[in-house]
């Protein structure tokens, strides 16, 4: 069993496991060199390239887990939706989904047919990593993926998805549930293809009103995490800037919860059941702009805080590593976290 999984299973490992969200792309010079030769989708859909890029961070930095290179829009892309990646904008859905009928496409989603390249990339990575390394799968959560599919393009006001929510919350919920069911099949397939654990990214959940969460979304997430648990797939829920919902997150049947930089692990400790591990929560801006000394100091403080909790903690950033982050700062975070005892 890999180091991180052994630690989570309760074995005394002596130090906290560590990895960084979005470590596979963006900030590594070698990533940018490969990206210059291929489009994003070429990289994500060719298993050899996806595996090569996924393996880059472990050659530079001694992380304990590897996340496979892909995107939260890969599943809808594999199903045939016209999604393009626009430089410094992000994913664009060329024909936005605006009706319940359009969401029916997810009912026909078959992971090993539409996203076979993901299974192949995971198997290739699994063959090449040492036994101590944990392999992580991931997908976007229905609200976050739904927002890209419905908006068409990243929109700070979430105008389309929110007006749908105001006009007909039940039909939006129905679409997100269909998307959620497909996402569970996708994550299960990743687990079968070699991922030890999976992470569900709900980056834009902070924009969801509490009443929509209570009335509709909580049911969708509960069903998703319940199914994953039932099928033996350990799952981390990632959210960001969504403190208004934290008390509602704490009853989800997740294995782990990813904590952002606006709250402290100690604060959240009181709110979550003991058996849910935490992951987090160094501010990625510190890695981008801070000195190596600052990064090491804040990492030591984070380790100290984690030691004081009666709960498992995975050292990580609060959200994805930012483009332009100096490799030395990323390395300093990981090395410092690994050098300190629990």
Positions in the binding site for ligand 1CP (CB under 6 A): 22-26, 35, 40, 67, 69-72, 85, 87, 90-91, 138, 154, 201, 203, 319-320
Question: In angstroms, what is the minimal distance from the CB of 148 to ligand 1CP?
Answer: 7
Nearest to 71 by CA among 26, 5, 124, 135: 26
Question: In angstroms, what is the minimal distance from the CB of 330 to ligand 1CP?
Answer: 12
Q: Smaller CB distance to ligand 1CP: residue 39 or 112?
A: 39
For residues 1 and 27, the answer to whether their CB atoms sit within 8 Å is no
Residue 29 parent element (H or E): helix 29-35
Question: In angstroms, what is the minimal distance from the CB of 12 to ligand 1CP?
Answer: 30
Q: Smaller CB distance to ligand 1CP: residue 35 or 312?
A: 35
Q: Smaller CB distance to ligand 1CP: residue 146 or 320?
A: 320
Question: In angstroms, what is the minimal distance from the CB of 127 to ligand 1CP?
Answer: 19
Question: In angstroms, what is the minimal distance from the CB of 294 to ligand 1CP?
Answer: 22
Nearest to 252 by CA among 209, 207, 292, 213: 213
Q: Taking the CA of residue 52 as centre, how many other CA atoms within 13 Å lie in the half-sphere pointing to its CB?
A: 13
Q: Smaller CB distance to ligand 1CP: residue 23 or 242?
A: 23
Nearest to 193 by CA among 185, 202, 205: 185
- C-alpha 303/C-alpha 187 separation (Å) is 30
The b-or-e profile of 220-230 (16+ CB within 10 A means b, else e) is bbeebbebbee
Question: In angstroms, what is the minimal distance from the CB of 293 to ligand 1CP?
Answer: 26
- C-alpha 199/C-alpha 268 separation (Å) is 19
Q: Smaller CB distance to ligand 1CP: residue 15 or 26?
A: 26
Residue 89 corresponds to which tokens in the numbers above?
């904008």
Backbone φ, ψ for residue 193 (5° rounding): -85, 0
Q: Smaller CB distance to ligand 1CP: residue 289 or 311?
A: 289
Residue 149 corresponds to which tokens in the numbers above?
């599919």
């Amino acid at each position: 069993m890999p180091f991180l999984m052994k630690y989570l299973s309760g074995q005394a490992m002596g130090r906290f496991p560590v990895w960084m969200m979005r470590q596979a792309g963006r900030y590594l010079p070698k990533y940018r060199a490969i990206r210059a030769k291929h489009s994003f989708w070429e990289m994500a859909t060719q298993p050899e390239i996806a595996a090569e890029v996924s393996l880059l961070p472990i050659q530079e930095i001694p992380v304990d887990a590897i996340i496979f290179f892909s995107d939260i829009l890969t599943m809808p892309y594999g199903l045939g939706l016209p999604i393009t990646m626009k430089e410094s904008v992000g994913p664009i859905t060329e024909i936005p989904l605006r009706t319940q009928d359009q969401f029916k496409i997810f009912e026909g989603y078959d992971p090993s047919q539409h996203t076979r390249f993901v299974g192949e990339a995971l198997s290739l990575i699994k063959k090449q990593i040492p036994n101590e390394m944990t392999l992580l799968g991931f997908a976007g959560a229905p609200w976050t993926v739904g927002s890209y599919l419905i908006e068409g393009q990243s929109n700070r006001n979430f105008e389309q998805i929110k007006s749908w929510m105001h006009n007909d919350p039940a039909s939006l919920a129905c679409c997100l549930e269909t998307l959620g069911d497909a996402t569970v099949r996708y994550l299960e397939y990743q687990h079968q293809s070699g991922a030890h654990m999976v992470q569900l990214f709900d980056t834009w959940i902070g924009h969801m009103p509490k009443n929509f969460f209570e009335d509709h979304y909580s049911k969708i997430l509960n069903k998703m995490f319940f199914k994953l648990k039932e099928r033996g797939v350990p799952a981390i829920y990632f959210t960001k800037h969504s403190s208004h919902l934290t008390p509602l997150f704490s009853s989800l049947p997740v294995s782990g919860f990813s904590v952002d930089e606006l709250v402290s692990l100690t604060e959240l400790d009181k709110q979550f059941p003991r058996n849910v591990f935490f992951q987090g929560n160094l501010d990625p801006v510190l890695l981008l702009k801070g000195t190596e000394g600052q990064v090491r100091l804040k990492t030591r403080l984070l380790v100290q805080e984690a030691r004081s909790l009666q709960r498992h903690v995975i050292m990580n950033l609060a959200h994805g590593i930012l483009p332009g982050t100096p490799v030395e700062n990323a390395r300093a975070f990981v090395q410092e976290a690994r050098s300190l005892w629990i």
